[in-house]
Amino acid sequence: METMHLSSDISSDFSSLKNNSENTKPFIILLADDEPDILTLLSYNLKKEGFIVHTANDGEECVALARQIKPHLILADVMMPKMDGIEACHIIRNDHSIPQPLVAFLTSRSDDYTQLAGFSAGADDYITKPIRPRVLISKVEALLRRIEKGNSNTEEIPKFGIHVNRSQFIASKNGEEVMLPKKEFELLELLLTKPGKVFTRDEILDHVWGKDVVVGVRTIDVHIRKLREKLGNEYIRTIKGIGYTFRDEQK
């Protein structure tokens, strides 16, 4: 069991994110942690900002609620009873009945192995405990803005049998839908914007993870490997020592 110290003095700096827009429902956030104090404090402050908040006490309950309530964002502890957060994330990412949410882990374990395991399971972010409430709120705001950005852009990009629908975060290959977590989707979308261009690792980190998120370069390798497993090895080329590129012509 992990602990996290929070105060209830959280400002309303991100009130603009209370709703997707004036005509849509509030964002739904699922909190999963086996520490009651964390659930109480986070739930209270997020609800105060207008979010719909549901809580789970373990990984199994997290998966069950994800299927039921279809959240926009899941904030999950890594170490939980019955099923840990990483396994829960993996199950959610492979369940086609669940509209894929953003997933961020809340954990005191900051070792590379744990982070790589989390990103490999399909996590979008990794928030290390202990964390100041304002920083956590900033993270939540940044994550949810990705949904707003996606909803405001309906462009669909077709490249060599690969289609990416930005408004719905849906990718398909030759007409068949490919289930991609948000980070894999955003990485593929970036490479598709300029086939043939070599995106350096620093460019990929800035565009996909952002400058305020600290992740190792191996995280990119994990996501590229996942994309190749789902799309095929022929689409993305590795430029040794530099980065990656999407092939620029039909074979």
pLDDT digits (tens, 9 = 90+) for 159-189: 778 888 776 677 888 888 888 888 888 899 8
Asked whether residue 199 is assigned to any structural domain, the reply reads yes
Please tell me whether residues 96 and 211 are part of one structural domain. Answer: no
Please tell me whether residues 53 and 79 are part of one structural domain. Answer: yes
| Ordered alpha helix ranges (H), the chain | 36-48, 59-69, 85-93, 112-121, 133-151, 182-193, 201-204, 217-231
Q: Cα 218 vs. chain centroid, distance in angstroms?
A: 17
Helix, strand, coil shares, percent, the chain, to 5:
40, 20, 40
Across the range 128-138, mean pLDDT stands at 74
Across the range 63-80, mean pLDDT stands at 94
173 DSSP β-pair partners: 162, 176
- State the Cα–Cα distance between residues 117 and 103, nearest whole angstrom: 13
Asked whether residue 113 is assigned to any structural domain, the reply reads yes
Residues 50-55: contacts with CB within 8 Å, 24+ apart? 50/15, 50/18, 50/19, 50/26, 51/18, 51/26, 51/27, 52/25, 52/26, 52/27, 52/28, 53/28, 53/29, 54/28, 54/29, 54/30, 55/30, 55/31
- Per-residue model confidence (pLDDT) at position 121: 82
Count CB-CB contacts under 10 A for residue 178.
18
Please tell me whether residues 117 and 166 are part of one structural domain. Answer: no
Q: Is the peptide bond before 130 cis (omega within 30 degrees of 0)?
A: yes
Local confidence band at 218 (pLDDT 50, 70, 90 cut-offs): confident
Q: Which two tokens stand for residue 96?
A: 């086609």
* pLDDT at residue 76 greater than cutoff 90: yes
Across the range 9-18, mean pLDDT stands at 40
Local confidence band at 89 (pLDDT 50, 70, 90 cut-offs): very high
Among 122, 151, 180, residue at a domain's last position: 151
Among 151, 168, 184, residue at a domain's last position: 151
- Per-residue model confidence (pLDDT) at position 92: 92
Q: Give me the chain's average pLDDT, please.
A: 79
- H/E stretch holding 243 reads strand 243-246
Across the range 221-238, mean pLDDT stands at 91
Among 120, 151, 182, residue at a domain's last position: 151
- Per-residue model confidence (pLDDT) at position 161: 82
Please tell me whether residues 109 and 216 are part of one structural domain. Answer: no
Please tell me whether residues 174 and 147 are part of one structural domain. Answer: no
* pLDDT at residue 23 greater than cutoff 70: no
Look up the CATH number of the domain holding residue 214: 1.10.10.10
Across the range 98-124, mean pLDDT stands at 80
- Domain count for the chain, please give it: 2
Q: Which among 10-19, 133-142, 146-155, 195-204 has the top mean pLDDT?
A: 195-204
All residues at 6 or more sequence positions from 185 whose CB lies less than 8 Å from its CB, including other chains: 164, 169, 171
Asked whether residue 10 is assigned to any structural domain, the reply reads no
Look up the CATH number of the domain holding residue 30: 3.40.50.2300
- State the Cα–Cα distance between residues 104 and 42, nearest whole angstrom: 14
Domain of residue 238: give its range: 156-246
Across the range 95-101, mean pLDDT stands at 84
